[in-house]
Amino acid sequence: MDFSSTQRSGVSAMKVDLILTHVVSGRTAATTVNLVDDLILGRADVEEYLGLEEPTISKAHVRLHRIVYEQDKSSISPMLYVKSLSRNLTTLVKRSSGSSTRNIKLHRESTPNLIEHGDILALSPTVHMQITFPNFTTPVLVLNALQRREAEAFDDHYLITKSALGHGGYGAVYMAYEKKSNRQVACKIVDLHHVSRMACEEAIDESNRTYKPMHFSEAAQWSAIKTRWQKRLMKKLDQGYAELAILKDLSHPNIVGAESAFMSEHTIYIFQEMITGGDLWSYLDTYGRPGLQDADATVIIKQLIEAVHYLHSHEIVHRDIKPENILINAWEPGGRVVLTDFGLAKRTITDQHTGLTRTHRQRMHTAVGTAGYAAPEVQLDNNGDLVETGYTCAVDLWSVGAITVLLFTSQSVQELFPVEELHEIDLACLDDADSDDPVAGITMDNDGHYPFMATCSQRTAIPTTSQKHFSGEADPPNVVGTLVCNLSDLSNAQHDIWGRIASAPKDFIKRLLVLNECKRMTARQALEHRWLAQPYYKDILEKVYQKAITGWRPRGHAQVERISAGDIKLAPMDDDSILLKMVRDTKSSYFK
């Protein structure tokens, strides 16, 4: 049997070396696998490569599954997971996690486990298979000296490995072990000194754009930039603490939650369930070219909306829903969808005594989110600050609409829809919440198209002559990063992409990609939309959903434990040495 799988066009392969050994006779056999599709190993493979029969090895014994992230989207190395398919015991022998060997018993009911370079699969008591990666490079130390000292506080409970699962602006995620159960979990590590460096860079950049060298003394410039740094750092630290405060209370099958957390003045450690199916990008790489089928997209969006509805009902807005933050806990369609990364999430407040509608809830004024998935009301001015109108939890629904477009087409909103000049579309009534238009809530153009706004990643300024049609002002502010897209292709039955897609999901998209947030569907309305609630398959969809979340158990409130490594380093807010060094090293003529 040839281990190598046929490479599909446009799909990245993962090179893996397998060394089979019969521990009694000493026979060995080695082969290199170019993994694209899943690889199932069993009795016939052992007989072919080792020339012996091993009755305790099943016909289909283990399944290897690779996840390769697009290199231009992620710095994460390819990942290899193993799943037991046999009733007979398989043991995963870990030699790369810490100084001692760790044996993990794999059963048919076990969740998949991440394989590291040098791990051994004991397929039976006498047949072992070592797995190595030809392109493997030794990872750098995950924890610095301070963090290693902090980790002693939870050393009896968890072991953090060098295997990176993800990187973000505020931290990195690594595979870890819960020692009591030998279970693999994910650990998000937020280095608050790294956050301080981010605040330093932003403060210096802002000062470079603000001050002229001849206007202020060096002391005045230092005082101003230090104040900016402290203000930005405090805001970032508050956001990091807010993520922890939000995660510890969440319990929903479609939302990642914190199992436990530890916090010092220097670092935040959040231990979470490890999701083994990859993110939405890797899922689309396998199943979504040129786009998902309606049934598959329905199951994913149903679960994503369930997550958003849960958050909004608990007065939480995610603010950064994008493919990287949507994980799937299965290797085939129909798996559980999990919304993760709450680094930008925020609690909102509703006045329970006034009975105000959702559009009157506390508005947020922080420019966050990711271009392509951020709602149009999250706009920046020329200084990079959010325009004063702010936004509500409706931003999450826009993101769901953009994700729906991606699922059906494998393209983003900006890539797919034609861009119009702003002055070609009459937007004079776009703020009219009483519009009779049931779809967009804004004035249609002369051809009856429903225009909407999308965030431009290039942040190209719209000319003032066009901008006045948007704002209704004679001399409006020059809003950066906004352009107009046209949804008319959704109604074109001859369109190469949209012509093959049913009307219900296209109507769902139209009701989410709406400029006027007051007219955008809420999460509850989205769940009740005819695409997800058709009478003849609503019960079927609910059964599929219940199957997807089988095995998930409600979580209690996670405990957050304060830890300390002693007074061996100043806390980020008290340590301006990083700022001082960066100011001295900057090439700007303002700070010499």
Residue 118 is part of a domain; what is its CATH number? 2.60.200.20
Copy the structure tokens of residue 170.
Answer: 């505020």
Q: For residue 208, which of 228, 194, 231 has the smallest C-alpha distance? A: 228
- Among residues 106, 132, 158, the one where a domain terminates is 132
Q: Which of 281, 294, 290, 321 is nearest to 541 (CA)?
A: 294
Q: Are residues 115 and 182 in the same domain?
A: no
**Residue (of 239, 235, 229, 234) closest to 168 by Cα position:** 239
Q: Is the pLDDT of residue 448 over 50?
A: no
Kindly state the tokens that stand for 82.
């193993």
Which region, left, alpha or beta, applies to residue 426 given φ > 0 means left and ψ of -120 to 50 means alpha?
beta
Burial 458-477 (b: 16+ CB within 10 A, else e): eeeebeeebbbbbeeeeeee
390 found inside a domain: yes
CATH number, domain of 500, equals 1.10.510.10
274 with 400, same domain?
yes
Q: Residue 493 pLDDT more than 80?
A: yes
Q: Encode pLDDT of 461-488 as tens digits.
A: 333 223 222 323 333 333 334 456 678 8
Backbone angles phi and psi of 76, in degrees to 5: -80, 135
Q: How far is CA 512 from CA 202, 279, 443, 574, in A?
A: 33, 23, 16, 45
Q: What is the mean pLDDT of residues 329-354?
A: 81
**Is 332 part of any domain?**
yes
The four Cα atoms 436, 438, 443, 445 give a dihedral, to 10 degrees, of: -130
**Residue 590 counted as domain residue:** no
Dmax over Cα atoms in the chain, in whole Å?
88
Q: What is the CA radius of gyration of the chain?
A: 27
pLDDT of residue 230: 93
Q: At residue 185, does pLDDT exceed 90?
A: yes
By annotation, the residues acting in catalysis are: 320
Residues 386 and 479 in one domain: yes
Q: What does DSSP assign to residue 58?
A: -
What is the predicted pLDDT for the residue at 490? 86
pLDDT of residue 532: 96
Report residue 152's pLDDT band, with 50, 70 and 90 as the boundaries: very high
Angle at 239 between CA 236 and CA 240, to 5 degrees: 90
- Residue 263, in any domain of the structure: no
User: What percentage of the chain carries pLDDT values higher than 90?
Assistant: 48
Q: Which of 277, 278, 276, 272 is nearest to 255 (CA)?
A: 272
For the packed helices 294-313 and 394-409, what is the interaxial angle rounded to 10 degrees?
A: 170
User: What one-letter code names the amino acid at 405?
Assistant: V
Helices (H), 248-393: 280-287, 294-313
How confident is the model over 500-542, as pLDDT tens digits? Answer: 899 999 999 999 998 888 899 999 999 999 999 988 889 999 9
Q: Which residue has the higher pLDDT, 67 or 350?
A: 67
Residue pair 79/114 in contact (Cβ under 8 Å)? The answer is yes
Q: How high is the pLDDT of residue 306?
A: 98
DSSP single-letter state for residue 209? H
- How far is the CA of 10 from the CAs of 17, 168, 285, in angstroms? 22, 26, 9
> What letter represents residue 367's amino acid?
A
Which residues belong to the annotated binding site for ATP? 188
Give me the amino acid identity at 528.
E
- Per-residue model confidence (pLDDT) at position 7: 39
Say if 4 falls within a structural domain: no
**Residue 72 banded pLDDT, cuts 50, 70, 90:** very low
Q: Are residues 383 and 442 in the same domain?
A: yes
pLDDT, greater one: 257 or 141:
257
Q: Are 66 and 213 contained in the same domain?
A: no
Cβ neighbours of residue 56 under 8 Å, at least 6 residues apart? Answer: 88, 124, 125
Residue at 138 is within a domain: no
Asked if 382 and 511 sit in the same domain, the reply is yes
Whether residues 122 and 232 share a domain: the answer is: no
For residue 565, pLDDT over 90 is answered with: no
The tens digit of pLDDT for each residue in 348-390 reads 865 444 343 343 344 444 545 456 788 877 754 444 444 445 6
Confidence of residue 450 (pLDDT cuts 50, 70, 90): very low
- Measure the CA–CA gap between 18 and 33, rounded to whole angstroms: 7
Q: Please give the tally of structural domains in the chain.
A: 3
Q: In this structure, how many other beta carbons lie within 10 angstroms of the beta carbon of residue 102?
A: 17
Is 264 part of a structural domain of the chain? no
| Pair (469, 508) in one structural domain | yes
Query: What residue numbers bound the domain in which 504 lies?
Result: 269-548
Residues 417 and 518 in one domain: yes
284 and 362 co-located in one domain? yes
Task: Kindly report the backbone phi and psi dihedral angles of residue 2, in degrees, each rounded to the nearest multiple of 5, phi listed first.
Answer: -85, 120
**Binding-site annotation, residues:** 188
From 108, 132, 156, give the residue that closes a domain: 132
- Predicted confidence band of residue 11 (pLDDT cuts 50, 70, 90): low
Instruction: Using alpha carbons, select from 145, 149, 173 the residue that is nearest to residue 161.
Output: 173
Please return the burial class of 533, using the count of CB atoms within 10 Å of its CB with bins 0-12, 13-18 and 19+. middle
Is the per-residue pLDDT at 420 higher than 90? no
Per residue in 75-94, pLDDT (tens digit) is 677 899 999 999 999 999 98
Could you tell me if 213 and 315 lie in one domain?
Answer: no
The answer to whether residue 515 sits within a structural domain is yes
Average pLDDT of the chain is 80
pLDDT higher than 60, residue 423: no
Residues 318 and 347 in one domain: yes
User: Of 6-10, 273-277, 312-316, 320-324, which gets the smallest average pLDDT?
Assistant: 6-10
Q: Is the pLDDT of residue 459 over 50?
A: no
Q: How many CA atoms lie within 13 A of 336 on its CB side?
A: 23
pLDDT of 102-147, one tens digit each?
A: 899 999 988 999 999 999 999 999 999 999 998 888 777 789 999 9
